[in-house]
Amino acid sequence: MSGIHPFRVLRAKPLWIANGVITGVLALLFTVFYVGANVDPVDHMKNLPVGLVNADKGAAVGDKQVNLGARLTESIKKSTASGGKIDWKVMDEKEMKEEMGKGKLYGALVVPADFTSATTALTGAATTGVPTRPTLTVLTNQSAGSVGSSLARTATTQAAQSASLQVGKELTSQGGTGQAKLPVAARVLLADPAAVTVEDGHPLDSHSGLGLTAFYYALVLVVCGMLSANVISGQVDHALGYTHNDMGPLRLHRPLIRATRVQTLAVSSTLMAGLSLLMGSLVMVGAVGLMGMHAAHLPLLWLFSVCAIAVSGIGALTLLAVFGTPGMLVVTLVFIGMAVPTANATTPIQALPGFYRFLAEFEPLRQITGGIRSILYYDAQADAGLTRGWAMMAVGLAAAALFGFGMTNWYDRKGLHRIPAETKPEKTAAPA
Per residue in 207-266, pLDDT (tens digit) is 999 899 999 999 999 999 999 999 999 999 988 888 888 888 888 888 888 889 999 999
pTM exceeds 0.85: yes
Average pLDDT, the chain: 86
**Tens of pLDDT, residues 263-303:** 999 999 999 999 999 999 999 999 999 999 999 999 999 99
- Inter-residue contact 353 to 44 (CB < 8 Å): yes
Q: Above 50 in pLDDT, residue 179?
A: yes
The residue that leads in pLDDT, 126 or 232, is 232
d(CA 9, CA 2): 13
C-alpha 53/C-alpha 67 separation (Å) is 13
Q: Residue 183: pLDDT band by 50, 70, 90 thresholds?
A: low
Nearest alpha carbon to residue 359 among 373, 375, 338 = 338
Q: Indicate if the pLDDT at residue 119 is higher than 60.
A: yes
**Per-residue pLDDT tens digits for 302-346:** 999 999 999 999 999 999 999 998 899 999 999 999 999 999 988
Give the per-residue pLDDT at 363: 93
* pLDDT score of 425: 45
DSSP state string for 99-119: HHTTT--SEEEEE-TTHHHHH
CB-count burial class (<10 Å; 0-12, 13-18, 19+) for 24: exposed
pLDDT of residue 174: 63
Q: Residue 126 pLDDT more than 90?
A: no
Measured CA to CA, the distance from residue 162 to residue 142 in angstroms comes to 24
Candidates 116, 102, 1, 111; CA nearest to 66 is 116
Let me know the angle formed at the C-alpha of 398 by 342 and 353, rounded to the nearest 5 degrees: 15
123, burial (CB in 10 Å: exposed 0-12, middle 13-18, buried 19+) = buried
Say what the pLDDT of residue 38 is.
Answer: 84
Q: What confidence tier does 125 reach under pLDDT thresholds 50, 70, 90?
A: very low
Tell whether the model's pLDDT for residue 428 goes beyond 50. no
